[in-house]
A and B are shown apart, each in its own frame.
Chain A
Amino acid sequence: MTGPLFPQGGPNMGQPAPRYEGRAKVTGEARYPSDVRLPRTAHACLHLSRIGRGTIRGFDLTAARAVHGVIDILTHETVGDAIRQTPAIYQGGYTSDSLLPLGSAEIAHWGQPIAMVVAETYEAAREAAQRIVVTTAPHPSPAVDINAPGAETRALEPMMVQAGDFDAAYAAGPIRIDARYTTPAQHQNPMELFATQCVWEGDRLTVHEPSQYVNSVKFGLAEQLGVPADNIRVISTHVGGAFGAKGFLTQRTALVAIAARRLGRPVKLVATREQGFTVSGYRAETRQHVQLAATRDGRLTALRHEGWELTSRADTVAMGGASMTTRLYACPNILGRVNTVAADRSTPGFMRAPGEVPYGFALETALDELADRLGMDPVELRRVNDTQTEPVGGLPYTSRSLMRCFDVAAATFGWSGRSPRPGSMREGDWLIGWGCASAYYPAQAGNSAARVRLTADGTAHVASAGHELGQGMTTMMAQVAAEELGVPLERVTVSLGDSDLPPAVVNGGSAGTASVASAIMIACDAIRARLGVPRDAPYAALRAAVAASGLAFVEELGEARAHGRSPESLPDMYRGRALPLGGVELPDRVQFAMGAQFVELRIHRWTREIRVRRAVGAFAAGRIINPRTSHSQLLGGMIWGIGSALHEHTDIDQRNAAYTNANLADYLVPVHADISEIQAILVSEEDRLVNQAGVKGVGEIGVVGVAAAISNAVFHATGRRLRDLPIKLEHLL
């Protein structure tokens, strides 16, 4: 029998407690939003644009209406002004893009929702949606991608980063690297589809929808529908994966809400897998340019990183990863720039480590090129340029354990056995490649609240509108309350994923645990203070204190304000505007989790088949509340990295920007057979500054750097430097 894979804890780590909701998930009892059963539900099906940018000339709904069981068909002609135009999150609003749902005859992009059928059954709704006839006038030459002639490039001046004199230092650099990289469009593809159920009771609306931020849905929908936010409740108890795709309010929710209002009965929409490719955002494709100059002993003297990111015509969205890649290594002369390239596409959004995955790939590959040019071990190159202060503003890292991660991972991997010359390691017909790269992710937090109740029977309940996305939020919440109060873990219950609960930060940016744990700690402190029970009091004393109080329970609300947020920002948390802050965005310091990724791959000498044989990652991310769930996140992240490097890219039709592989057979994600030995090591680190909980977050860092480690290993195996993702065997022929 195989033993458990997860670590059993260590310094500054909590217990590897099993998942709070584990039993519900293995028995099928866990109800995800599309599993919630509402009496008299009508079923909706979207009809998406089958052209790229263009105009709707008219609908023929005769055949669709003739399908038995069809109740209603929403189009821009029938919706009227039921939905109001509201700003997107990028303008301080709530929606993931600024297109008004069914707002006009204009089609901005392929896959835009242009109609929605509601019928008695799912089968009827689906049939009718397919029978909608749309007459359109397509734009003759939509800009389909980042390289299209009609796409508009715009420099984002506020994202410029500058230190010293890059041009002069680069010109004078003894050793120089000048390389361009590309990364593809990718889609999060959580296993759970984008579902929404809406039910009105009088003027009160309940929404069941998988979300990373119920309050974005609640307050955004209130604005869109002109309904008081107090009348809207959004419930998202279990979320079947999100990865950034479920962060903010998408167009579908308002459509389902108004359909349910028109019908006077619940309406359920489950977007198809293909529809999901444009129902929410995605990782935009990028082009990048990196220039490095270094002394002969490897010290960086100049670093330039410029990125071009695809965006939509409607929204200027950029992940701006150069703001971080310019802060990671000691270097006196730095230039970072970010540009957007607007094309006729749906608005991109967040996908696990949104800025770090593409920009980290470019920088960490460029560093490997530099190490090769210098004849230097790539680990040593990172060591020579390691720093405890970021180089642009001279701000201190709250803690930084990059080289400890490299040393632990290198030792585990056996890096000292590497023969550095490309193509020098072989096993029969297989070329062996070893590569490494740094991983980094900004430690962020957002304003969050939590309510903790300690009952006279000695049980505790903790509640916050955070989300269980699979990252282990529920278990973490129970553990923090148990530890802070001294209540046995099995006596703590948890509520989350409900806009009626105290608000929490959007569960993105790896900020969920840091933010919500801090709020729970504040609430628990308040409970102990009220009862006059010291921190390390035994459980019996705590119970005795509640009994002596004569109260049935003691309850406190904890509100944690994130470092860098003003006291005036707290009310925003109660209006669905609690966003993560940290990394390089703070005035007084920078805060990052760090890691090191090592990969061994083999490439077949004749077929050029690429297989990742093993991967070792080591990560230091402050306090680890649950090593078991953290480890699983890091493993999953590393596997995402493999997918990002070798599998995942969304194919774009050059005629109309249709996604031609918008399904799980053609959009390749790692499967069981792609993954063999993956080792994620939690490196102990203590950071008392970063936030009250001392937590940096591990949801995203596992992905970062893997693609570079793989491209570097491909170079080591073959001598071929590949700078475009994903790397495929045909690139090595």
Chain B
Amino acid sequence: MDTEKHDTTAPSSNRRRFLVGSALSGTVPFLPHEAEARAPLAARPPGDAAPGFALHVNAHVYQVALDPRTTLLDALREHLDLTGVKKGCDHGQCGACTVLVEGRRELSCLSLAASMQGREVTTIEGLATPDGRLHPMQQAFMNHDAFQCGYCTPGQILSAIGCIREGHAGTPVDIREYMSGNLCRCAAYPNIVAAIEQARDQGEG
């Protein structure tokens, strides 16, 4: 797979068009482990070379060439090293893989990476400001101890942001209904609802 990362929004010129290689399976001409990293390409069936395309994630552009079956979830985790997004079922049943696509919550395990061309994807890594200030929803989750093991948490936080934006966070009953696609096996549900109410009352979504 080829991966190139461009920063589209960073104000400083030295971050613009910054190239990043994927250490696992990506290739960037300037990296020393190029030969190793090319192995996956050699294994691809002849004539089936996946066309490259651009993935827009957290205000960066990644040039990728992936097996066409690659889900957005696996692309983010295995190829872009954005492992905040979690695999809990791979079937759209648990919500752990929730990301924002064009600001709306989507299940990245049910989305093919190739279908994301030209669409802006936001993962948990893209919520805090570059200087490390947390998004109010992240802060609210910490304030209310709205997680235990933390595995579903990135999905819960992104889904909660989407829930507020959709206007489905007016009451606790609404929040519970519209957050029910995000399972939390530690069952931090009451604390999650309280956290969402806090962020909502701060005008965040």
A residues apposed to B, CB below 8 Å: 1-2, 4-6, 18-19, 21-32, 34-35, 37-41, 68-69, 119-124, 188-193, 238-243, 270, 272-273, 469-472, 628-629, 631-633, 635-637, 639-640, 643, 663-665, 669-673, 675-678
Residue B185 at the A interface, CB < 8 A? yes
A189 to B185, CA, bound (A): 7
Q: 1/0 contact trace for B163-203 toward A, CB 8 Å?
A: 00000000010011101111111111111111001100110
Residue B105 at the A interface, CB < 8 A? no
Q: How near does chain A come to B49, taking the closest CB pair, in angstroms?
A: 11
Residues A123 and B67 in contact in the complex (CB < 8 Å), given A27-B84, A27-B138, A671-B180: yes
Is A273's CB under 8 angstroms from B84's CB? no
Is A672's CB under 8 angstroms from B193's CB? yes
Residue B96 at the A interface, CB < 8 A? yes
Is A68's CB under 8 angstroms from B179's CB? no
Q: Which residue of A lies closest to B197 (CB)?
A: A2
B residues apposed to A, CB below 8 Å: 23-25, 33, 36-37, 39-40, 43-45, 48, 67, 69-70, 74, 77-78, 81-91, 93-94, 96, 123-125, 127-128, 134, 138-139, 141-145, 147-154, 157, 172, 175-177, 179-194, 197-198, 201-202
Is A665's CB under 8 angstroms from B191's CB? no
A69 to B138, CA, bound (A): 40
Q: Which residue of B lies closest to A665 (CB)?
A: B93
Q: Which residue of B lies closest to A632 (CB)?
A: B145
Q: How near does chain A come to B36, taking the closest CB pair, in angstroms?
A: 5
Is A664's CB under 8 angstroms from B124's CB? no
Main secondary structure of the interface of B (DSSP, over half): loop
Q: Which residue of A lies closest to B194 (CB)?
A: A2
Q: Which residue of A lies closest to B33 (CB)?
A: A39
Q: Given A19-B145, A26-B142, 5 other A-B contacts at CB below 8 A? A: A2-B198, A23-B134, A25-B153, A26-B157, A639-B187
Q: What are 7 A-B interface contacts by the 8 Å CB criterion? A: A2-B194, A25-B153, A37-B24, A122-B74, A123-B74, A189-B185, A675-B176
Is B134's CB under 8 angstroms from A27's CB? yes
Is A240's CB under 8 angstroms from B39's CB? no
Q: How near does chain A come to B108, taking the closest CB pair, in angstroms?
A: 13
Residues A39 and B24 in contact in the complex (CB < 8 Å), given A27-B124, A68-B45: yes
- A123 contacts which of B70, B141, B197 (Cβ < 8 Å)? B70
Is A23's CB under 8 angstroms from B142's CB? yes
Residues A241 and B82 in contact in the complex (CB < 8 Å), given A27-B134, A40-B39: no
Point out the residues of chain B lying under 8 angstroms from A24, CB to CB.
150
Q: How near does chain B come to A353, taking the closest CB pair, in angstroms?
A: 14
Is A4's CB under 8 angstroms from B143's CB? yes
- A273 contacts which of B44, B90, B144, B197 (Cβ < 8 Å)? B90
Residues A632 and B148 in contact in the complex (CB < 8 Å), given A23-B142, A270-B87: yes
Q: How near does chain B come to A195, taking the closest CB pair, in angstroms?
A: 9
Q: Which residue of B lies closest to A4 (CB)?
A: B144
Interface hub of B78, B147, B175 (most chain A Cβ within 10 A) = B78
Residues A192 and B86 in contact in the complex (CB < 8 Å), given A26-B147, A664-B91: yes
Closest 9 CB pairs of A and B: A28-B84, A240-B151, A470-B149, A470-B148, A25-B150, A639-B187, A35-B83, A28-B124, A69-B43
Is B188's CB under 8 angstroms from A636's CB? yes
Q: How near does chain A come to B192, taking the closest CB pair, in angstroms?
A: 7
A32 to B39, CA, bound (A): 26
Point out the residues of chain B lying under 8 angstroms from A120, CB to CB.
39-40, 43
Point out the residues of chain B lying under 8 angstroms from A29, CB to CB.
84, 125
Point out the residues of chain A lying under 8 angstroms from B194, CB to CB.
2, 4-5
Q: Which residue of A lies closest to B94 (CB)?
A: A664
Q: How near does chain A come to B130, taking the closest CB pair, in angstroms?
A: 12
Is B36's CB under 8 angstroms from A40's CB? yes
Q: How near does chain B come to A201, taking the closest CB pair, in angstroms?
A: 16
Q: Which residue of B lies closest to A626 (CB)?
A: B145
Is A672's CB under 8 angstroms from B88's CB? no
Residues A635 and B187 in contact in the complex (CB < 8 Å), given A191-B149, A240-B149, A629-B145: yes
Point out the residues of chain A lying under 8 angstroms from B89, CB to CB.
273, 663-664
- A39 contacts which of B36, B44, B191 (Cβ < 8 Å)? B36
Point out the residues of chain A lying under 8 angstroms from B40, CB to CB.
69, 120-121
